C-alpha cells in the first residue's frame, strides 16, 4: 500500500494532507524517515508519525452532520474556537471533515476516518455533486446566471461548469440553487461576488445522494452500510 494511502486509512489525515505530512519528514518506517508519498508499505513494517505508531483502522466510521454556523471545519484550532468535532461523539475514532464549509455556512458535512473515500468524494475527477441553497444580494439576470453555470474565472483559473437555478426573487435579494462538482476555497461566495451578487446566506443541502432529512441543526447520525456502499460505488471503490 502507498504510504499516503496507509496514513489516510489509518485516520491520520486525508490523502492530500497525508502527502504534505510525509513530505515534511514527520513519517518513518521502521525508524527510517520517508518523504515520498508513493513509497510502498510492506506487511509487518512499523509506520510512525511524529514518533507515534499508526495503523489502518479495522472498522471505519462515517458520520453525517448538519453543521450550524459558528463552527470551524477543522480537527483543532490554535485559537480555541469551536470546531465541528465539538458537535459529535467520535469516541476513540480520529475523524476529519470531508471538504470544508466556511464558519458561517451551514448544512451537510461528512466526517470519516476513511481517507481514500474522502479523497475521491472531494476530487473533481470523480464528479460527486454538492448542492447548495444560496441567498444573494440583488436578483441575478440571465447573463449572470449563464456566467455562473458555464464557469467563472477566478485568480487560480476558471471554475468547472455548474447547475444553477433561480428559485425565488425578492425586492433586493434572490434564492439560488447551485450544484457543484468541485470545492475550491469559498467557491460559491467568490463566484457570486464575481458576477455582482454577494452571498448573504449559504447552506449545503445535499452531498451526493445524502440529505439532512431527519437531522436537526448541530445533530449527526451514522451512515448505514447501504449508504456507505453507495458512496463507494459512486467513486469506483470496492466495498469490503
Give the pLDDT of residue 106.
97
Fold of 129-207: Alpha-Beta Plaits (3.30.70)
Could you report the per-residue pLDDT of 41-53, keeping only the tens digit for each? Answer: 998 899 999 999 9
Residue 55 to residue 76: CA distance in whole angstroms: 21
Q: Which fold has domain 62-124+215-234?
A: Alpha-Beta Plaits (3.30.70)
pLDDT of residue 121: 95
Name the DSSP class of 228.
H
pTM of the model: 0.76
For residue 89, what pLDDT is reported?
Answer: 73
Using the 8-state DSSP alphabet, how is residue 219 labeled?
Answer: -
Nine-digit cell at 42? 510492506
Contacts of residue 46, Cβ cutoff 8 Å, sequence gap at least 6 = 29, 30, 31, 53
pLDDT at residue 240, as a whole number: 59
Task: Supply the pLDDT for residue 58.
Answer: 66
DSSP state of 9: H
Tell me which DSSP letter residue 138 carries: S
**DSSP string of 154-192, one letter each residue:** ETTEEPPP-EEEEEEE-SSEEEEEEEES---TTHHHHHH
Domains of the chain, by residue range, sit at: 3-54, 62-124+215-234, 129-207
Catalytic residue among 30, 77, 102, 114: 102
Q: Give me the pLDDT at residue 19, please.
A: 92
Catalytic residue status for 102 = yes
Domain 3-54 class in CATH: alpha beta
Q: What is the mean pLDDT of each run of 10 residues along the chain (240 residues)?
A: 86 85 95 94 91 81 95 87 86 80 96 91 93 97 96 93 95 96 92 97 97 94 94 86
User: Same CATH fold, 129-207 and 3-54?
Assistant: no
- pLDDT tens per residue, range 120-159: 999 999 999 999 999 999 999 999 999 999 999 999 999 9
Residue 16: Cβ-neighbour burial (10 angstroms; 0-12, 13-18, 19+): middle
Amino acid at each position: 500500500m502507498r504510504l499516503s494511502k496507509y496514513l489516510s486509512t489509518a485516520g491520520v489525515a486525508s490523502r492530500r494532507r497525508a502527502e504534505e505530512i510525509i513530505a515534511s519528514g514527520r513519517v518513518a518506517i521502521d525508524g527510517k524517515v520517508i518523504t515520498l508519498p508513493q513509497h510502498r508499505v510492506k506487511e509487518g513494517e512499523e509506520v510512525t508519525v511524529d514518533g507515534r505508531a499508526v495503523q489502518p483502522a479495522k472498522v471505519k466510521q462515517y458520520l453525517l452532520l448538519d453543521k450550524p454556523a459558528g463552527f470551524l471545519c477543522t480537527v483543532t484550532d490554535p485559537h480555541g474556537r469551536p470546531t465541528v468535532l465539538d458537535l459529535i461523539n467520535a469516541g476513540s475514532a480520529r475523524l476529519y471533515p470531508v471538504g470544508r464549509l466556511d464558519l458561517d455556512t451551514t448544512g451537510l458535512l461528512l466526517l470519516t476516518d476513511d481517507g481514500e473515500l474522502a479523497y475521491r468524494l472531494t476530487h473533481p475527477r470523480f464528479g460527486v455533486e454538492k448542492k447548495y441553497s444560496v441567498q444573494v444580494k440583488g436578483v441575478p439576470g440571465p447573463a449572470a446566471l449563464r456566467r455562473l453555470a458555464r464557469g467563472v474565472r477566478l485568480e487560480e483559473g476558471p471554475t468547472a461548469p455548474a447547475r444553477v437555478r433561480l428559485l425565488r426573487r425578492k425586492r433586493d435579494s434572490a434564492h439560488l440553487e447551485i450544484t457543484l462538482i468541485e470545492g475550491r476555497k469559498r467557491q460559491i461566495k467568490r463566484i457570486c461576488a464575481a458576477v455582482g451578487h454577494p452571498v448573504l446566506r449559504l447552506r449545503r443541502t445535499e452531498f451526493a445522494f445524502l440529505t439532512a432529512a431527519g437531522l436537526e441543526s448541530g445533530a449527526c447520525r451514522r451512515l448505514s452500510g447501504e449508504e456507505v456502499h453507495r458512496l463507494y460505488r459512486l467513486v469506483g471503490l470496492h466495498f469490503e
